[in-house]
Amino acid sequence: MNLVTTGTVLLGGIAALDATPVGQTLLSQPLVTATALGLLWGDLPTALAVGVVLQILAASTLPVGSRTPEDYATGGVVGAGLALAVGGSAPYEQWRDAAQLVGVFAGMLAAMGGVPLIKWQRRLNEGLSRWTEAQLHAGHEGALAQAHGAAVALAFAVGVAYCALWLGGGTLLLRAFTETESLRLSRAWTLLQPLWLGFGFAQLLHAFTQRKLTRAGVFGFVMLVAWLTLVMGS
């Protein structure tokens, strides 16, 4: 395993930590991790193309209350990482486009697959919290720090392992397929990229407008003015 691959899977662990257990600063968002991976692999445009689509979908996936939303922290790393691994250095554009499509699909699937994994960690944390309470009753004050250390280590290890599994398996299974079917996949990407972006914009618009007509009017007015300015100004 080379430095780039090691860096990619470690980023999966860091993203898994930032998403919920530590900080929640949005370092784990797909656009941020895709940028880091683009710089690491030396191909920012491929990583960002995947990162933008996954970011728009991630932005409308919210960890409200006790809901376990799709895990776009590892999904973002898997998506951009796989796109870079199967077509980042490809010699022609269709292959790179095909890799981006494969990356977005893998990112979404990894995000969905991450849900049961997070639920499993949360169930393990139930035992940990009971243990902590028992230790505190026994006068062991350090149990709080130990419990947090254990939970951080678990989340990091799961994030690293999950990303490694997806990246290893995905590269092995999909590299040849992406190359041989690059023409069809790149055509699908040409249509699906704007479709996904439009779909994601609508989710965000719904969050911003909250069914208020004035806000929807502001959106429509700005869109028209911006479109006219762009077209007339060019």
Partner 1 sequence: MTPKLPTRTLLAMALRANLLQTTWNFERQQGVGWAFALHPALKRLIPDKAERCERLAEHTAYFNTQPTLASLAIGAVAQLEEQRAAGTGPDAAAMQRIKNVLGSTLAALGDRLFWFSLRPFAAALAVLVAITRPASPLAAIVLWVTYASLHLGVRFAGVGWGYREGPSVLGGVLRSSLETVVTLLSYAGCILLGVLVAWGLAPGGEPRSIAVQSALAAGLGLGLITAQRARPSPTQWALGLGVLGVAAIWLRQA
Residue with tokens 């006790």: 66
Would you say 1 or 139 has its CB closer to partner 1? 139
One residue of 77, 83, 104, 167 binding partner 1 per CB under 8 A: 104
Q: How far is the CB of 191 from partner 1 (least distance, A)?
A: 5
One residue of 41, 162, 166, 196 binding partner 1 per CB under 8 A: 196
92 contributes a contact to partner 1 by CB under 8 A: no
164: CB partners within 8 A, 6+ apart: 9, 12
Q: How far is CA 158 from the centre of its chain?
A: 15
The closest alpha carbon to 8, from 56, 80, 71, 70, belongs to: 80
Most distant pair of Cα atoms in the chain: their distance: 74
Would you say 45 or 169 has its CB closer to partner 1? 45
How many residues of this chain interact with partner 1, rule: CB under 8 A?
Answer: 108
6 contributes a contact to partner 1 by CB under 8 A: no
User: What are the backbone angles phi and psi of residue 140, rounded to the nearest 5°?
Assistant: -95, 95
Q: Which residues inside 59-88 make contact with partner 1, applying CB under 8 A?
A: 59-66, 69-70
Name the one range near partner 1 by CB under 8 A: 1-9, 84-92, 167-175, 215-223. Answer: 215-223
63: CB partners within 8 A, 6+ apart: 20, 69
* Paired tokens of 30: 């797909």
203 contributes a contact to partner 1 by CB under 8 A: yes
4 contributes a contact to partner 1 by CB under 8 A: no
Name the one range near partner 1 by CB under 8 A: 2-10, 80-88, 104-112, 170-178. Answer: 104-112
146 contributes a contact to partner 1 by CB under 8 A: no
State whether residue 181 is helix, strand or coil. Answer: coil
One residue of 12, 13, 51, 113 binding partner 1 per CB under 8 A: 51
Question: Is 167 in contact with 81 (CB distance < 8 Å)?
Answer: yes
